[in-house]
Amino acid sequence: MTAAPDTPAPLRRDAARNRQLILEAARAEFAERGLEASLDDIARRAGVGIGTVYRRFAGKEELIEALFADRMAEVVAIADEALANPDPWSGFVFWVTRLAEIQAADRGLKALLSSTSHGRDRFASAREQIAPRVVQLIARAQEQGRLRADVAPSDLALAGYMLSAVADYAGTVDREVWRRQLTLVLDGLRARRSTISPMPVPPLAVEQLADVMRGGA
């Protein structure tokens, strides 16, 4: 009677620790291998039995929701941060860059951001918050005259997707090469320019490219 009406009984200490281990393992596994990472692998990585995972989370769906709720909020926050930048073009570049970084670092989050069919749309609201902010970011930068006038919001979504696709593809060999493609795309997005932006990282050597191709997909 002292407890709040529906506070679930607190977890036993070992259970709480295991729950944490599971979340950490899941985060790592989803980041590396995407949302189709198996619960068995997650359990193994956490050093825990599969039964333990199912005792804590109804299923994969619930685990994903528990993990990614705040990550999606983080993306919304990044859009806000971009809009807070007084220089429209800088804000725009910040957004595109940060978004690509986030997706490059986490295949699971990438899937959640570019697909509607996971997580029963516990995440729909986050996506709905992001969209208008991106529209604004684009409009501002176009009014300023630095962003080419013929790009639509959907173009930016596709550009983000494509950058994270390279990150996935080459990520095992070089975690950062995708930044070169980003540089290319950003230079393509400028309304006009007389020079090129410097490349932030060295290119893949042919040898490394062969390694990437050995890696499948």
- Binding residues for DNA, per CB under 7 A? 9, 11-15, 18, 36, 38-41, 47-52, 54-56, 59-60
Q: How far is the CB of 126 from its own copies (least distance, A)?
A: 13
Tokens 């639509």 appear where?
152
d(CA 175, CA 214): 16
The residue among 167, 158, 156, 181 whose CA lies nearest residue 104 is: 167
Please report, for residues 27, 108, 151, 194, the alpha-carbon distance to residue 141 in angstroms, rounded to integers and kept in the order given: 35, 30, 11, 19
Instruction: Name the token pair of 173.
Output: 């060999």
Write the CB contacts of 21 (distance below 8 Å, at least 6 apart in sequence).
46, 47, 48
Nearest residue (CB) to its own copies, 88 versus 171: 171
Q: How far is the CB of 64 from DNA (least distance, A)?
A: 10
Contact characters 152-171, its own copies, x per CB under 8 A: xxxx-xxx-xxx-xx--xx-
Neighbour tally for 116: CB within 10 Å: 10
Nearest residue (CB) to DNA, 39 versus 209: 39
Kindly report the CA angle at 185 between 208 and 30, in degrees rounded to 5?
60
d(CA 39, CA 22): 10
d(CA 104, CA 98): 10
The partner in contact with residue 126, picked from DNA, its own copies, none with C-beta cut-offs of 5 to 8 angstroms by kind, is none
Instruction: Name the token pair of 101.
Output: 């970084």
Q: Does 96 bind its own copies (CB under 8 A)?
A: no
Nearest residue (CB) to its own copies, 141 versus 163: 163
Nearest residue (CB) to its own copies, 23 versus 153: 153
Q: Does 111 bind its own copies (CB under 8 A)?
A: yes
Nearest residue (CB) to DNA, 12 versus 214: 12
Q: Applying CB under 8 A, which part among 45-53, 75-83, 137-145, 193-201 lies near its own copies?
A: 193-201
Give the residues lining the site for its own copies (CB under 8 A).
Answer: 111, 114-117, 131, 148, 150-155, 157-159, 161-163, 165-166, 169-170, 177-178, 180-181, 183-189, 191-196, 198-199, 203-206, 208-210, 213-217
